[in-house]
A and B are shown apart, each in its own frame.
Chain A
Amino acid sequence: VLVLVRSPLPRLRALLQRCWGQLERGLWPGVLGGQSPSWALAVQGPALVPQGINDAGESSTEAPSLLESILWMAAPKQRRTIEVNRCRRRHPTKLVEMKRNIDVCPECGNLKQKHVLCGYCYAKVKEETRLIRMEIHKKEGGPFNAPTVETVVLYEGEKPTEKDEGKRIIERARKRPSWFVQN
């Protein structure tokens, strides 16, 4: 009985070597379906007899074990040529698609995607918000000091109106930006 298995994975190879060693030593009675292994040494003695009985008993009922089915794993038969590889890698579905949803932002003139905010304008707003938050932090002094009233941001030269009666006022020392519309 000759079973030749060559697998490239070192882990599988080590496992198979272990299995083969166990087979040779006769530790798997049920693998070859009860056939007497032709390579086994002719050892006389009572030690093998109970194993022989186990052989006859188990061979008919034991299903092919997982370790036996390892010898029939899927493996590539031929090396894929570079032509075949190129056909697969350069197939139109694998190429990067051109985006057709890019527009020009009317505010700043940078490019933006149609369904996404303009990156430049968003960064501008984010920076101003950060400075306003720093002012708020300076006014509050610490955590858990947020008042229960609304907040109004006033820039240089602006006075609080009648609508801003009970609200907290945050001063910013710069001209009002054009995109921050006052109520």
Chain B
Amino acid sequence: SGAAWARGLLSWARPERWLASGSFFPLSCIHTSTSLQKIGKWEKKNRIVYPPQLPGEPRRPAEIYHCRREIKYSSDKMWYLAKLIKGMSIDQALAQLEFSDKKGAKVIKEVLLEAQEMAVRKHNVEFKSNLHIAESQTGRGRYVKRVRCHGKGMFGIMKISRCHYFVKLVEGPPPPPEPPRTGFDQAKEYVQQLRNRTLVHTL
């Protein structure tokens, strides 16, 4: 564990972070990784541009990706709130989060409100209530290990954890929830599997 700790300490000292902000190339328009750290994959998803739709195609619903990084909360605990919200309409999600006692609820509510505003201003969404949450995920942020003092001179190592929260809003009413699998469905699938059996390696 000492080796892992040392590796963790050294990982923040990546040499690319310490390069001068001006790159060595004469063209200053090349983006290096030193500017703004690194733009995450989730943030880049908002930049994709689809080709114009043909007249006969059904309208593609608007998708808005938003996230917040390095929230001072545990990703496991945040996951419960993310699971609660998945698949709800945005109004319902905001209502649930407002009356939840968890610390992460306040953060997620802010993120959802920001995303809603982004949707109306930039992503051509007509009604701000006409959004539902297609995906909501948590990710692990950077951890820091610290000493926690116990009695009799003993100490433990605690980790101060942070998390990221990702949300994808899609225009339109929320999809109807899937009906739970009954025994009858399972029996039907089993019978279908039996019927699908064929003879292999034959004429």
Contact call A10/B154, Cβ cutoff below 8 A: yes
Give min CB distance, B199 to chain A, whole Å: 36
Give min CB distance, B77 to chain A, whole Å: 10
Chain A residues whose C-beta falls within 8 Å of the C-beta of B95 in the assembled complex:
99, 102, 111
**In the complex, which of the residues B81, B83, B98, B100 has the most CB atoms of chain A within 10 Å of its own CB atom?**
B98
Interface set of A (CB-CB < 8 Å, partner B):
10-11, 89-90, 94-96, 98-99, 102, 111, 113
Contact call A111/B98, Cβ cutoff below 8 A: yes
> Per DSSP, are chain A's interface residues mostly helix, strand or loop, or mixed?
mixed
Residue of B nearest to A94 (CB): B80
Q: Does B76 contact A (CB under 8 A)?
A: yes
Contacts A99-B96, A99-B99, A102-B99: A11 and B152 contacting too (C-beta < 8 A)?
yes
Contact call A98/B154, Cβ cutoff below 8 A: no
Q: Does B84 contact A (CB under 8 A)?
A: yes
Chain B residues whose C-beta falls within 8 Å of the C-beta of A94 in the assembled complex:
80
**Contact for A96 among B76, B100, B154, CB less than 8 A:** B100
Residue of A nearest to B105 (CB): A96
Contact call B98/A96, Cβ cutoff below 8 A: no
Give min CB distance, A94 to chain B, whole Å: 8
What is the CA–CA distance of A36 and B188 in the complex, to the nearest angstrom?
Answer: 71
Contact call A96/B83, Cβ cutoff below 8 A: yes
Q: Does B102 contact A (CB under 8 A)?
A: yes
What is the CA–CA distance of A113 and B95 in the complex, to the nearest angstrom?
Answer: 10
Which of B127-149 touch A at CB < 8 Å?
A: none
7 contacting pairs across A/B (C-beta < 8 A): A11-B154, A90-B83, A95-B84, A96-B80, A99-B96, A102-B96, A111-B98
Chain B residues whose C-beta falls within 8 Å of the C-beta of A95 in the assembled complex:
80, 83-84
Besides A95-B83, A102-B99, 4 other CB < 8 A contacts? Answer: A10-B154, A11-B154, A95-B84, A96-B81
